[in-house]
Chain A
Amino acid sequence: MNKLLIANRGEIAIRIMRTASRMGITTVAIKTALEPAAPYLATATEIYDNTAFTTAVPVFLDVDRIIAIAQEVGADAIHPGYGYLSESAYFAQKCIDQNITFVGPAPDAIYKMGNKTIAKRIARKIGIPMVDGSEGNISDADQAIKIAEKIGYPVIIKAASGGGGRGMRIVRKPEDMERNFNVASNESRKAFNDPSVFIEKYIENPKHIEIQVLGDTHGNVVHLGERECSIQRKSQKLLEEAPSSALDAKLREEIAGAAVELAKAVKYFSAGTVEFLLDADKKFYFMEMNTRIQVEHPVTETVTGIDLVEQQIKVARGEKLAFKQSDIKMKGWAIECRINSEDVQSGFVPSTGRIEKLEYPSSKHVRIDSGVTEGTTITTGFDSMIFKLIVSGENRKDAIENCKKALDELWITGIKTTLPFFRMLLRNEDFVKGNFSTSFVENKLDNFVLADKNEEALAAWIATKLFFEEHFSDDSNLDYEKGKDLGPWLLNRRIGQF
């Protein structure tokens, strides 16, 4: 592998290119008309200018265009990052057909795990526990209502080829089914070009636990432990940590073992993630497998010391994994906060604007994976996640303390972000105790930001000060004499006119 084309943008493009460059691989980034000055371009060895090529479909979703670019620049490999084409079996196959290395799993594995119905069938066959649901996709709301009555409300509608919370809706009563079915289906069609959805029993207040797996093309599969991603809002992850405070060594072995089994069943190689729900009785259920690098992969990297992108590239080159399961040791604790450009106080709606000031905390415990800089304009055209703050510590308590400090040092103006949410969350008693589930954000929190009485009084003073400055500030700056002081040319003519 000599030249790697990054079929992605933002922080993940930068993160991939850093590792690739370190490994001596030339990287190519694609410049688009939507963000011709994006920070990720600065990290690339080469930039392919695609600004003149504007279509309704973003270039990063355009299989033919990406392949054509790879051929034009002479790239022998493509890294898809996450989102976009990362879980397109068609794209992976197209790469192979064109003799381009796809940095990721085999098309067959992507297809089997990407289609949730097939994935479930495989998981069931090897005896992994899972929740009741529709056998396969459902065609309309009526059918959904029938199945829901059989398995009992609440149920969850999910996109068959989805992920990341898109095309997902929880339904608690039959009269809400039709609207939610349509919304989920529409969203799914827009996000994944596939409107098919399925439903399953919705487990109340579960924890979201996922296992990072890594396989090579020689049949070896290992796991790199779990991540807990229970802090979510509307199925969008906000904060992830590794390891999880909900697992003990035995349960970890059990869940991770199931994940490795599943990966082996589809001859999985490269990095992948198997997601599980863990209910209050510590019973786990298989949810889905993501056949790509995850947004939250840095927490695993932090506790294992393994660079997952490096492993992806090595596996793609056909190398054998250099370590066995017993070589993998977890050390310490890592927490990732997703800094999204969202207005938390208005219900996490996207916030747009220009990042005026951006100062990251500086500490050896902090890693920042960012796709923005000062001056970056945030539009509604892209995902709202702008950077990730990853903080480590010796244990969970220590990591939380370090994270609080880092959040206090973070200075960002121009847009509204999830920063005040994390400042609040890290001080929440239940969170600190590990006492939370995926419904925590929506059901257990009354206030989404750190509400400090002093700060409100300070803010009141600021507002009053602004009003005072506007109306009562010293007017000695206003010079009336200067207005009267006209030169003879103008004065004579002005007066002469009248």
Chain B
Amino acid sequence: MEDILEPSQERNPGKLWSPSFIIKLNRMDLSGKNYKDFIDRNEALKKQYSPERAEKQHSKGKLTAHERISLLFDPGTFEEIDAFVTPADTPVEFGKVEKTYGDGVIVGHGKINGRLVFAYAQDFTIMGGSLGYVHSKKIAKIQEMALKMGSPIIGMMDSGGARIQEGVASLSGYASIFQNIIQSSGIIPQISLIMGPAAGGAVYSPALTDFVFMVNQTSYMFVTGPNVVKEVLNEDVTSDQLGGAEVHATKSGVAHLIYDDEENTILALKKFLSYLPSNNVENPPVLQEDATPDINEKLREIVPDDPNKPYDVKEVINLLVDRNSFFEISELFAPNLVIGFARIKGKTVGIVANQPKVLAGVLDIDSSDKGARFIRFCDAFNIPLITLEDVPGFLPGYEQEHKGIIRHGAKMLFAYSEATVPKITVILRKAYGGAFIVMNSKSLGGDFSFAWPTAEIAVMGPDGAVAILYRKELAEAKDPDKLKAELVKKYRDKIANPFIADESGYIDEVIDPAVTRKKIVSALNALSNKWVKVPARKHGNMPL
């Protein structure tokens, strides 16, 4: 009897994508009536996922839901739930509802790199993956299980949207999914993979989760689609231009990570998950091996002598963290701030770094939003924060002020201050004004603040300071340029340096860049048991 329910784990050499979890039944030799129905139903389910359906999906450059699941989970570990549910009856006859098993979504659990993960994958080949009542209940069920078990949940979206035939029941279905995401937020990591269309209310399901992955050319997200845009505004726009992966990765910031194809998206997700804990009580998994040298003299060579010369802060990051461990997030959105996960001595850290290469690394509306959300994620999931600071200030100007840089900058300030995970700052170069405070200053609750000898810590940059403090002298000077140059030099030498801050305790130590990693490692060790009691409250009121 042992071979009756044997999952087909063997690889089928002729066919690349064989859903490994469909039970192999042909060898069953049972005759009772119940068993006959059992076998028939299984056969029917197998037929439902026919090669024709798969081919249709493939011809659009997309994989089927089954193929996605089998790529994501360790072979033979995925267990499907509710495979045989059928769509709900519609209150009024309008349009056709395909009476299929599963109602256009696969839900279940399995192991990814050996760890329990829950997932749902919408199946575009069944009624366009549209979300009906039963479909939504399946998702909600798996969401609730993931929360109870304290395990990450992955959603793979490929859906035409709410099922029109089912009316308000399908809308209510969305609401219950949203409600579950919000309830689980900050308790288990929730990640969305957009692998086809996600339109209308459906976009809020990924938007509420922690991270959104998209696939170039085959995935879209928009609240109102091109047809509506055409109708209302009479503008011609393609789905890709309106809400393609590229747009959301660069302009809107909705997509955190985008890839050229689905395999790379799923492979990247698996790697990404390895940085995250299963829930907010545990710590992230630890990687054993690490041969990265703790002292690296190359770090001395990166920051140029000329304070106005740009450099790539990612070079610094890559030398500080374990070799090849930096996993950047939202690379293309607000690139003046670099964020991402990395490992130091095998343990996950979150990196927040100003990027002098882009807009001199200023803070603006987008980079504040980007930074704040990342900091809150790290805080929720016990991931220490490493801040690399080289910031000339906030981006000045009419546009930024009018769009509310005050509100947005406040988010970053709030997020840093609120975070109770270990917080370490290294000031590489500029640390001026309000931006110095915002970027995890010690007085804002930062645990350790280090500065390189190249650091310039002051209320404002030399030019601004000289212009204000010596306005009169400069106006009266015979050669104002010469006087200004002298004053700027004096300001740099005497005020804009790390030594005053060091001697007065506003930073912990001015360090040789070469030993930065060593300093961070010992700081992280010292902070590994950090606990801060936060005042009891419903929640703070973050300036959103």
Contacts and interface: CB of A to CB of B under 8 A. Distances in A.
A483 B529 CA distance: 13
B270 interface: yes
Contact of A475 (B114, B283, B297): B114
Given A33-B305, A471-B271, A494-B281, A479 B529 contact: no
Given A477-B287, A495-B281, A489 B529 contact: yes
A484 interface: yes
A33 B304 CA distance: 12
Contact of B282 (A471, A484, A487, A498): A484
A483 B298 contact: no
Contact of A483 (B271, B277, B305, B324): B277
Contacts of B114: 475, 478, 480
A377 interface: yes
A444 interface: no
Does more than half of chain B's interface fall in helix, strand or loop, or is it mixed? loop
A488 to B, nearest CB: 10
Interface string A373-401: 00101000000000000000000000000
Given A354-B298, A489-B531, A493-B531, A478 B281 contact: no
Contacts of A482: 283, 285-286
Interface in B251-287: 267, 270-271, 274, 277-278, 281-287
A470 B271 contact: yes
Contacts of A493: 531, 533
B531 A490 contact: yes
A494 B288 CA distance: 25
B285 A483 contact: yes
Given A354-B298, A489-B529, A483 B283 contact: yes
A480 B113 CA distance: 10
B282 A486 contact: yes
A475 B531 contact: no
A473 to B, nearest CB: 10
Contacts of B281: 486, 491, 494-495, 498
B301 interface: yes
A490 B529 contact: yes
A377 B529 contact: no
Nearest to A484: B282
A70 to B, nearest CB: 27
A413 to B, nearest CB: 14
Max chain B Cβ within 10 angstroms of own Cβ: one of A375, A477, A491, A498:
A477
A341 to B, nearest CB: 16
Contact of B285 (A354, A478, A486): A478
Given A471-B270, A471-B271, A487-B529, A479 B113 contact: no
Interface string B288-304: 11000000011001000
B259 to A, nearest CB: 12
Max chain A Cβ within 10 angstroms of own Cβ: one of B274, B285, B533:
B285
B267 A478 contact: no
A487 B283 CA distance: 11
Nearest to A356: B298
Nearest to B531: A493
B71 to A, nearest CB: 11
Given A33-B305, A483-B282, A477 B529 contact: no
Interface string A153-195: 0000000000000000000000000000000000000000000
Interface residues of A, number: 24
A477 B282 contact: no
A486 B271 contact: no
Contacts of B277: 483
Interface in B163-179: none
Given A354-B301, A483-B282, A494-B281, A478 B529 contact: no
A498 B288 CA distance: 30
A477 B267 contact: no
Nearest to A377: B301
A297 to B, nearest CB: 33
B270 A483 contact: no
Nearest to A54: B305
A479 B287 CA distance: 6
Given A483-B283, A489-B531, A478 B113 contact: yes
A479 B531 contact: no
A214 B288 CA distance: 66
B115 interface: yes
B305 A480 contact: no
Nearest to B534: A497
B283 A486 contact: yes
Contacts of B283: 482-484, 486
Contacts of B298: 354
Contacts of B288: 477, 479
A478 B287 contact: yes
Contact of A479 (B271, B286, B324): B286
Nearest to B277: A483
Contact of B286 (A375, A483, A490, A495): A483
A493 B532 CA distance: 9
Contacts of A377: 301
A308 B493 CA distance: 48
A375 B514 CA distance: 14
Given A354-B301, A471-B267, A483 B531 contact: no
A490 B113 CA distance: 27
Interface in B101-119: 113-115
Given A487-B529, A489-B529, A490-B529, A478 B282 contact: no
A31 to B, nearest CB: 15
B309 to A, nearest CB: 11
A475 B286 contact: no
A354 B315 CA distance: 12
A489 B289 CA distance: 27
Nearest to A482: B286
Contact of B274 (A478, A487, A490, A491): A478
Contacts of B284: 483
Nearest to B420: A497
A486 B285 CA distance: 12
B285 A479 contact: yes
Contacts of B282: 483-484, 486
A47 B301 CA distance: 22
A487 B305 CA distance: 45
A221 B530 CA distance: 82
A464 B186 CA distance: 37
B289 A477 contact: yes
B187 to A, nearest CB: 9
A33 B305 CA distance: 9
Contacts of A495: 281
Contacts of A480: 114-115, 278, 285
Contacts of B278: 480, 483
Contacts of A489: 529, 531
Contacts of A490: 529, 531
Contacts of B382: 494
Nearest to B530: A490
A347 B529 CA distance: 55
Interface in A338-359: 354
Contacts of B297: 375
Max chain B Cβ within 10 angstroms of own Cβ: one of A377, A483, A487, A494:
A483
A241 B278 CA distance: 67
Contacts of A471: 267, 270-271
Interface string A434-456: 00000000000000000000000
A443 B289 CA distance: 52
Contacts of A494: 281, 382, 531
Q: What 9 A-B pairs have minimum CB-CB distances, sorted nearest first?
A: A482-B286, A483-B283, A471-B267, A475-B113, A480-B285, A483-B285, A493-B531, A477-B288, A479-B286
Given A482-B286, A483-B277, A490-B529, 7 more contacts: A470-B324, A477-B287, A478-B285, A479-B286, A479-B287, A483-B282, A497-B533
10 contacts: A471-B270, A478-B114, A478-B274, A478-B286, A480-B114, A483-B283, A483-B285, A490-B529, A494-B382, A494-B531
